[in-house]
Each structure stands twice: as structure tokens, then as C-alpha cells.
Structure 1
Amino acid sequence: MYVADDWKDYEVMDTGNGEKLERWGDVILRRPDPQIIWPIESEDKRWREVHGHYHRSSSGGGQWEMKKQIPDRWTVSYDRLKFYIRPTNFKHTGLFPEQAANWRWMMDKIAAAGRPISVLNLFAYTGGASVAAASAGASVVHVDAAKGMVQWAKENLALSGLGDRPVRFITDDVFKFVQREQRRGNRYDAIIMDPPSYGRGPGGEMWKLEQSLYPFVESCLSILSDTPLFFLINSYTTGISPTVLHNMLSMTVKRRFGGRISAGELGLPITVSGLHLPCGILGRWEE
């Protein structure tokens, strides 16, 4: 497991009964998590005296119950990076803190490369990986189909004091964007992707990760440079094993460029129990 255990502004305080108790800076939130199928060992006052509690609805979705006043958004820091946090209607906060394990890895890889590195971040959300790569000196192209998420990512970059770095923010369908980059002959030293389980393209094309991910990864080979640095796939799709990502990268990127692959779970430490909370999977190829 790749554990993001060096946070100061974020903490999984406790877990149980399908929920996690989290500290985001000074704000305490209680949110559901389907991986937590064990009981709360001691539901003390910390569980009750939270700022916000997201309740799932039996009919799907859910809503926040705000018990204490909080800002519309606030800031958390990771190393020299800063991010805006805001509870959304879909229980999320705009940041997946377990991804810090990937940010640290890619920052180290880029800083040690000894050459200019261009990074393409696909399904890039609010830009955690884009900010991390830019902070390490890479030029970045950030692509996401959701205009609001792209704007949030721009604000995160500026908040981190990196607004002058060579980062292009593009609101577009990632599949169409990759096809255009192929025609233009543009190439990248590193590709990051965090594809959804399901989705639809601009022409109504159905994306289902189990059927669509392999051909998409294969199509991205043509926009890698002759000496790529890394290729990172994240997945939160239930039932997909890290070995699936390992095999996929072996059959595509490693087959063409050699290098080495690692894969596993992402996780966060749980303060009370000393255990780790599983938070999705990753597959990494590196030169």
C-alpha cells in the first residue's frame, strides 16, 4: 500500500459504521465511505461535535447537515502546495488526500530528471497532480470536461503561488483532446490519468472503464515522447485489482519503452486505530 502519511493539515481521525471522521485544517467533517465495514469502537463526542455530517439518502445521493458555521471554502496545505476545500453536493470536498502519495512520487521524479519535463494530466479534476507537477518544475497541460473543476484547479495553482508557471488549462473531452494531440504531433514526457468508472463522450459515446481503459491507454502511447519519464493511472472503480493496472501498463508502455512498473492500493493512516484506510488503486510505469 502507498500511504499518504505526511499530511499536517489533513487527518483521518477515526472510522467505523461506514463513515470516516476527518480533519481538514481546523474543520471536522463526517462522511460516508463504502470501504469501512467495521464498527466504530468508541463513538465519543468527537463524532457528534463535527462541523458537517454528510448523510446518504436511501434513494441515492445525500446532503450535508452543517452543525457549526464554516467558511464557504478554506485552505489546506501539503508541503508547499495549497488547495481550496469546499463541501460539494456529492459528499466530496474537492481534494483526494490519499493522492499525496502520488504527488510526492511525481515531484521527486520530475525534480531528479535533470531535463525539462512536459506533463499531461487527463481527467484532471481540481488539479492536485497539476499543481504538484508544476511546483517541481514541469510544464503541464491540464484537461477536464467540467468547466467548474478546471476553474477550481486554476485557483489552486494561484493559491500555491504558481500562477506564473507554464500550465495550460483546457476544458474538453479528454478522448477528443488526445486525438487532436495525435494529429498535431504533440508529445509529453509524462501522462497522468484518473478515469471514471462510467461516462459519456461529447457524441454520446459510452465510457465503461472495463471496456474502454485499455484502448485509451494504448492510444496515449502515440503522444509519449521518445524518452518518457512516467505514466500514472489512478482508479476508484470498485472491483478492479491493482494487478489489472500492472498488466495493462506491461502490455502497453513497458512493451514499447522498457522501464519498470509498480502497482498497489492507495491509503491513509487512521489515527485512533493505527490501521490504514484503503482509498483506490494505482499503477505506475517509470523509466
Structure 2
Amino acid sequence: MYQLLQPKISSYELIDSGNFEKLERFGDFILARPEPQAVWDKSLSEETWEKKASAIFRKTKGKDQLSPDERGEWHNLKKMPEKWLMNYEQGGRKYKFKLSLSSFKHVGIFPEQAENWQYIEDKVQKMGIDSPKVLNLFAYTGGASLIAKGNGADVTHVDSIKQTISWARENMDISQLTDIRWVVEDALKFVKREVKRGKKYNGIILDPPAYGRGPDGEKWILEEGINELIKSCLQLIDDENFFFILNLYSMGFSAVIAETIIKQNYPAATNTEMGELVLQDSFQKRLPLGVFYRFASV
């Protein structure tokens, strides 16, 4: 069944969207930044956006060779700190995320992923085993890693960028968690090595970007590498207790692509779910922010 999953987070709000932008509240601060899928009109005036926003992101000319988005700069409209914290509560546990304005318009968290975080908590708890092993690939600042660890999982967090790993480690520390395993490496290289070692994981979270580079300059292009990566990851799944989550953010990429690759290579997949992650603004406009495919043993 195809689903639209729409999370609700008290510390986050999508205020308005349109004209290829979105206006969002992250904790105490409101930001305006580009959003290529917001093709409709804004509901609020430009003047209102500027009055509400603490900072606005503007693109600059020139593209990074492997980035689908143009680089840009944040322009502060009101006084705000360089870094701030956003609180998140799930399952009775409180988590904290350090947020910051980056030159690629990101701030350190993808709120739409809260639906997958709920899924991770549910599956880890239902396994009924001590310290299930969870692998988080392209793990960014570690939202999924924190949730898995907070529910008792033994977590391996893999990302190719050392600074991002440091950011995720800060999130672990301020969330009062410990002992996540940090790996700075190209995701496909890591997975292939784990396959050779005969390793198995109870949970695999796969969140590949459209474009990227590994720590040694390895080039990643989603449509060229996704088939091999998924096939390799499927070899790491535990035989009895498992969950698998795949997110795809590239515009034009369908969840059906993920479904087809997984069904071809792992026909035993059970309790399958697929669809889109969406956020709804205060004017009931629903903004799609990626597709997902997931399955689990329970």
C-alpha cells in the first residue's frame, strides 16, 4: 500500500511554502530557504516572510560538481546565534540536536524523518533481543542513530564526512547517550567489506544522497550506484530479526524503484511499506520531501 507519512514535532513547524521556498520554525528560530518541490504560490506575502524569518538563504552563482543544489549564503534578518539547540521527544526520552546554518541550506536535521524514527523505535522494541545491531549509512548528523541507541540498539554510524561525524557525536553527547560506533568511510566500501566478513545486522537504515563524495574522493551518483548498494545491504540482514529502511530524496526517483530492486533480490521481504514523506504547512499545503521503502520481520 502506498502511504503519505506526515510527522508532527512540537519543536518544528512548516509555516508556509511556495514559489520554490519554505518558511520553517526550528526551535526558537524561523528560517526561509529554497525548496524545489514547492511549485505552488505562497500563502503569506513576501513582506510577512521577511518579518517572520530570522534568516533567509539565497543561492549564489556556480554549482558544486556533485551537488544538485547551488551553494549559497544565509542572510540574518534578526539577531540569532551561529548554533542553537532543538529539542525532540519520543517514547518518553528527550533528544537534543545542534543546529547551524550551512552553505548548502541545510541546518542539521530533516524533520520529515521523524516518521522513520518512530518506526525504528517500534521495530527495535518489538524484536525482543538484547542490543540489536543497527547500521545507519549516509547517517548525517545522526537522528536515526540517536533513536536506535536510545532504545537499546548497538549502533554503527557511517558517513564519509569527518565534520558531520563530529556533529553527530555532539548530538549523542548532548542527548546523554554513549557508545555509538563512528565510521568515516564511503558507504559502499564499508558495506562490501562487512559482507566479506560475514557480518549481520538487525536493522539497516539507508539514506543516500543524489550526489556525493567519499573521504578518498569516491564519486557517488544515486542512479548509478543504488542497485549495487541495495543488493550488498540486503546480504547483511539478519535471518530472523530485522528491519530495513530506504529513503530516496532525488527528485523524480520513485519508491517503486526501491520496491523493484528489493523484490528482485530479497523476495522474502515481509511487512513491506512504501510511499512519501511529507510535511504540511499551516495552510494545509502538503510538501513531498522524499520517498521511502521499508520492511521488517515484525
TM-score by length of 2: 0.89
Shift of 1:55: 0.9
Q: Which runs of 5 or more residues in structure 1 are unaligned?
A: none
Spell out the pairing of 1:19-168 with structure 2 (5 A cutoff).
19-43=21-45, 45-49=47-51, 50-59=53-62, 60-79=70-89, 80-116=94-130, 117-163=132-178, 166-168=179-181
Alpha carbons of 1:200 and 1:51: their partners in 2 closer, same or farther (altered >3 Å)? closer
Q: Does the CA-based 8 Å contact 2:185-2:214 persist in structure 1? A: no
Alpha carbons of 1:205 and 1:39: their partners in 2 closer, same or farther (altered >3 Å)? same
Tell me which residue corresponds to 2:66.
none
Residues of 1 paired with 2:146 and 2:140: CA distance? 11
Q: Does the CA-based 8 Å contact 1:4-1:99 persist in structure 2? A: no
Alpha carbons of 1:202 and 1:125: their partners in 2 closer, same or farther (altered >3 Å)? closer
- Tell me the alpha carbon deviations over residues 171-222 of structure 1, each in whole angstroms, 9 at most, x when there is no partner: 1111221122123222111111111222345666543222221121111222
Residues of 2 paired with 1:261 and 1:223: CA distance? 18
Percent of matched pairs sharing the same residue: 39
**Structure 1 residue corresponding to 2:236, chosen from 213, 220, 223:** 223
Alpha carbons of 1:83 and 1:202: their partners in 2 closer, same or farther (altered >3 Å)? closer
Residues of 2 paired with 1:6 and 1:198: CA distance? 29
Residues of 2 paired with 1:206 and 1:31: CA distance? 27
Q: Amino acid of the residue matched to residue 290 of structure 2?
A: G
Q: Amino acid of the residue matched to residue 18 of structure 1?
A: F
The answer on 1:280 being equivalent to 2:290 is yes
Spell out the pairing of 1:258-269 with structure 2 (5 A cutoff).
258-269=269-280
Shift of 1:58: 4.7
Alpha carbons of 1:201 and 1:169: their partners in 2 closer, same or farther (altered >3 Å)? closer
Q: The residue matched to 2:23 in structure 1 has which SS?
A: strand
Q: Which runs of 5 or more residues in structure 2 are unaligned?
A: 63-69
- Tell me the alpha carbon deviations over residues 81-132 of structure 1, each in whole angstroms, 9 at most, x when there is no partner: 2111111011110111100010011111111221131100011111011011
Residues of 1 paired with 2:126 and 2:114: CA distance? 18
Residues of 2 paired with 1:156 and 1:186: CA distance? 27
Tell me which residue corresponds to 2:65.
none
Moved more, 273-282 or 181-190: 181-190
Q: The residue matched to 1:84 in structure 2 has which SS?
A: strand
**Structure 1 residue corresponding to 2:261, chosen from 234, 244, 248:** 248
Q: The residue matched to 1:94 in structure 2 has which SS?
A: coil
Q: Amino acid of the residue matched to residue 60 of structure 2?
A: S
Residues of 1 paired with 2:84 and 2:9: CA distance? 16
Residues of 2 paired with 1:6 and 1:42: CA distance? 22
Moved more, 244-253 or 197-206: 197-206
Shift of 1:45: 4.8
Spell out the pairing of 1:170-209 with structure 2 (5 A cutoff).
170-201=183-214, 206-209=219-222
**Structure 2 residue corresponding to 1:8, chosen from 7, 10, 21:** 10
Shift of 1:6: 2.0
TM-score by length of 1: 0.92
Q: The residue matched to 1:106 in structure 2 has which SS?
A: helix
Residues of 2 paired with 1:36 and 1:58: CA distance? 21
Q: Does the CA-based 8 Å contact 2:14-2:280 persist in structure 1? A: yes
Q: Does the CA-based 8 Å contact 1:232-1:284 persist in structure 2? A: yes
Q: Amino acid of the residue matched to residue 107 of structure 1?
A: E
Alpha carbons of 1:197 and 1:5: their partners in 2 closer, same or farther (altered >3 Å)? closer
Q: Amino acid of the residue matched to residue 118 of structure 1?
A: K
Moved more, 206-215 or 22-31: 206-215
Tell me which residue corresponds to 2:67.
none
Q: Does the CA-based 8 Å contact 1:53-1:64 persist in structure 2? A: yes
How many residues align? The count is 282
Q: CA RMSD in A?
A: 1.7
